[in-house]
């Protein structure tokens, strides 16, 4: 396993890139006629929610700096201080940036930051659907979040005020950029489930979630984006927050990995619906590269091999930073960052950081599956 701490950034970039190329060959991504080519990306633009937020939510109003991700133990593994990432360290988007030789993305709301190599627009707890739409479905969303449509508006403001001195400059920059739209839609589903909506009720507005994501991708293409990656949703039935709330005593309710079947089936339905819509969008924009990143399959693949990767066999579904003990060490009323809640001394042995988000080591394990697959399918312009 690649050691992250103590390596200079250039050495780390080189090591990750070499590892990814070797991994791609070993996993069947590369064959005699196909090699993984790392395109010369100029920038990365990220939309989404907490899985990719590098510090936006902690900068929202007066409440932001008081949120858990603004204080330790968040960031305890890397860089040793809180950054607004909802993890002990790096996220998937961080590993993506390093794999293509770019600096880590700064959050859009950090007005003192450099955005030369892209921007992170993702905001924790954000939804694919607008807050008003979800309210009509009886789902309450935190008012401080920024739905996907709002993040797209941020992109347009950024382009018009920051980097495009002339239309030709903007077109050239975006043509050589990589856009990630998501992973988003997870919160729409999770908020609804924990607030009492049935799986059938949630499934009924999955098409609306898909439409919102597709519309966002369409807008990205219309402003000049040409290489867009749209991740699917992780298997939500494998996460401690939902396992603790919806767990049963019936073994038939769980799959072979120990995850809740019904919630994972809902997630599969959501991902399949998204993939079908992306297929139609590719026909609408044949000159754009629109890729689906299968986070669901990547998570399951790594979960099945987790003990071999150094994760503790008996703690695959336990939170590192949590309270409540029991099977999952998760209590939604006393979460990581709350008074009296401490993190475990060995985060690299855990998949789950706080019951909703993953540890740095889990992000790395998933990245080792996802990134080579993305790079092997990206067309260089």
Contact 359, 348 (CB under 8 A): yes
Spatial separation of the C-alpha atoms in residues 371 and 41, rounded to whole Å: 14
**Does 247 reside within a domain?**
yes
Whether residue 52 lies in the annotated active site: no
**Does 27 reside within a domain?**
no
Helix or strand holding residue 99 (H, E): helix 92-99
Give the pLDDT confidence of 299-314 residue by residue, as tens digits. Answer: 999 999 999 999 999 9
The Cα-based distances of 368 to 39, 41, 81, 280, 357 in angstroms read: 18, 19, 25, 29, 18
pLDDT of residue 380: 75
Helix, strand or coil, per DSSP, at residue 140: coil
Give the pLDDT confidence of 149-166 residue by residue, as tens digits. Answer: 999 999 999 998 766 666
Q: How confident is the model at residue 187 (pLDDT cuts 50, 70, 90)?
A: very high
Q: What's the rounded mean pLDDT across residues 350-360?
A: 98
Give the pLDDT confidence of 271-293 residue by residue, as tens digits. Answer: 999 999 999 999 999 999 999 99
**Does 316 reside within a domain?**
no
pLDDT of residue 23: 39
DSSP assignment, residue 314? Answer: G
pLDDT of residue 11: 36
Looking at per-residue pLDDT, the higher value among 35 and 217 belongs to 217
pLDDT of residue 326: 84
pLDDT of residue 40: 85
% pLDDT > 90, the chain: 80
**Does 8 reside within a domain?**
no
Does the pLDDT of residue 146 top 90, yes or no?
Answer: yes
Q: What's the rounded mean pLDDT across residues 254-263?
A: 97
Mean pLDDT of the chain: 89
**Residue 92 CB-density burial (10 A; 0-12 exposed, 13-18 middle, 19+ buried):** buried
pTM: 0.89
**Does 358 reside within a domain?**
no
CATH number at residue 280: 3.40.50
For the ranges 27-36, 54-63, 141-150, 197-206, the lowest mean pLDDT is seen at 27-36
% pLDDT > 70, the chain: 88
**Does 364 reside within a domain?**
no
Q: What's the rounded mean pLDDT across residues 81-107?
A: 97
Whether residue 338 lies in the annotated active site: no
Give the pLDDT confidence of 101-130 residue by residue, as tens digits. Answer: 999 999 999 999 999 899 999 999 999 999
Whether residue 208 lies in the annotated active site: no
Of 92, 118, 54, nearest to 373 (Cα)? 92
pLDDT of residue 17: 45
For the ranges 20-29, 245-254, 302-311, 358-367, the lowest mean pLDDT is seen at 20-29
Q: Which of 273, 352, 357, 363 is catalytic?
A: 357
Does the pLDDT of residue 148 top 80, yes or no?
Answer: yes
Count of domains in the chain?
Answer: 1
Helix or strand holding residue 290 (H, E): strand 289-293
Does the pLDDT of residue 28 top 50, yes or no?
Answer: no
Q: For residue 268, give its domain range.
A: 40-307+369-377
**Does 317 reside within a domain?**
no
* Cβ neighbours around 24 below 10 Å, total: 20
Q: Which of 53, 188, 331, 354 is catalytic?
A: 354
Spatial separation of the C-alpha atoms in residues 278 and 290, rounded to whole Å: 7
**Does 333 reside within a domain?**
no
């Amino acid at each position: 396993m690649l050691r992250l701490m103590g390596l200079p950034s250039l050495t780390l970039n080189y090591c990750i890139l070499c590892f990814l190329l070797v991994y791609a060959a070993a996993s069947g991504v590369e064959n005699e006629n196909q090699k993984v080519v790392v395109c010369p990306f100029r920038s990365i633009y990220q939309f989404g929610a907490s899985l990719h937020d590098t510090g936006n939510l902690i900068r929202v109003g007066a409440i932001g700096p008081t949120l858990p991700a603004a204080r330790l133990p968040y960031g305890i593994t890397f860089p040793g201080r809180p950054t607004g990432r909802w993890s002990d360290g790096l996220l998937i988007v961080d590993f993506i940036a390093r794999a293509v030789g770019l600096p880590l993305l700064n959050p859009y709301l950090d007005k003192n930051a450099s955005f030369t190599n892209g921007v992170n627009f993702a905001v924790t707890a954000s939804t694919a659907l607008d807050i008003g739409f979800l309210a009509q479905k009886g789902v309450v969303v935190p008012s401080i979040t920024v739905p996907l449509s709002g993040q797209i508006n941020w992109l347009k403001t950024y382009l018009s005020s920051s980097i495009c001195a002339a239309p030709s400059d903007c077109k050239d920059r975006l043509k050589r950029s990589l856009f990630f739209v998501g992973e988003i839609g997870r919160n729409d589903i999770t908020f609804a489930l924990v607030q009492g909506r049935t799986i059938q009720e949630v499934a009924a507005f999955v098409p609306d979630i898909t439409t919102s994501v597709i519309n966002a991708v369409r807008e990205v293409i219309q402003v000049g984006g040409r290489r867009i990656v749209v991740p699917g949703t992780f298997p939500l039935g494998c996460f401690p927050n939902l396992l603790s709330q919806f767990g049963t005593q019936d073994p038939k309710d769980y799959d072979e990995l120990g995850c809740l079947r019904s919630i994972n089936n809902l997630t599969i339905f959501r991902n399949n619906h998204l993939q079908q819509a992306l297929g139609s969008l590719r026909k609408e924009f044949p000159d754009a590269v629109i890729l689906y990143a299968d986070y669901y399959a990547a998570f399951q693949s790594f979960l099945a091999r987790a003990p071999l990767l150094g994760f503790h066999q008996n703690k695959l579904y336990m939170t590192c930073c949590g309270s409540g003990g029991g099977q999952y060490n998760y209590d939604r009323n006393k979460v990581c960052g709350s008074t009296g809640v401490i993190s475990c001394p060995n985060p690299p042995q855990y998949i789950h950081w706080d019951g909703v988000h993953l540890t740095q080591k889990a992000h790395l394990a998933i990245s080792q599956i996802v990134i080579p697959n993305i790079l092997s399918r990206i067309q260089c312009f």
